[in-house]
């Protein structure tokens, strides 16, 4: 038997993509504790739409995380890959 599908929420026959917002980022996302995106009433269609919806929600969280993060690259690990100029700068500093 298969387990629960991660980030999929069923409320009264309607499916949603759902992600919890970390506490330190809530003030940057209108004090929301979770982000939801409606996926519709059909389970198979909801499963098809889920990865894209989760990616969009993760992107919103990442943008809020960038607002909170320190401004220098060396002070924090970024969620997104570095640009080639940033990689070169880090390489030549060490």
Q: How confident is the model at residue 8 (pLDDT cuts 50, 70, 90)?
A: very high
Averaged pLDDT score across all residues of the chain: 86
Q: How far apart are CA 17 and CA 59, in angstroms?
A: 13
Residue boundaries of the structural domains of the chain: 8-93
For 2-69, give the DSSP string: --PPTTEEEETTEEEEEEEPPGGGGGGGTT-SEEEEEEES-HHHHHHHHHHHHHHHHHHHHHHHHHHS
pLDDT tens digits for range 31-42? 999 999 999 999
pTM: 0.71
CA distance 18 to 75: 30
């Amino acid at each position: 038997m298969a387990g629960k599908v991660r980030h999929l929420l069923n409320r009264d026959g309607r499916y949603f993509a759902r992600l919890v917002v970390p506490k330190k980022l809530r003030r940057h996302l209108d004090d929301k504790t979770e982000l939801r995106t409606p996926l519709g009433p059909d389970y198979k269609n909801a499963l098809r739409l889920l990865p894209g919806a989760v990616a969009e929600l993760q992107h919103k969280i990442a943008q809020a995380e960038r607002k909170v993060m320190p401004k220098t690259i060396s002070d924090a690990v970024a969620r997104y890959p570095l640009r080639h100029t940033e990689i070169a700068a880090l390489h030549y500093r060490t």
